Amino acid sequence: AADARPIFILLQHTHPEALENDRWVRAKGTLSVKNDGRIELPWLTPSFWEDVEEPKSPFLY
Which residues lie closer than 8 Å to 45 by C-beta, 6 or more apart? Answer: 12, 29, 30, 32
User: 21 lies in which domain range?
Assistant: 10-60
Within a domain: residue 25?
yes
Within a domain: residue 1?
no
Q: What is the pLDDT of residue 2?
A: 65
Q: What is the pLDDT of residue 54?
A: 92
43 vs 6 pLDDT, higher one: 43
Within a domain: residue 27?
yes
Residue-wise pLDDT tens digits, 19-54? 778 888 888 999 999 998 998 989 999 898 898 999
Q: What is the pLDDT of residue 38?
A: 92
Residue 1 predicted with pLDDT over 60: no
Overall number of domains in the chain: 1
Within a domain: residue 51?
yes
Q: CA 11, CA 16: separation in Å to the nearest integer? A: 9
Give yes or no for a contact between 50 and 26, defined as CB atoms under 8 angstroms apart. yes
Within a domain: residue 24?
yes
Give yes or no for a contact between 27 and 19, defined as CB atoms under 8 angstroms apart. no
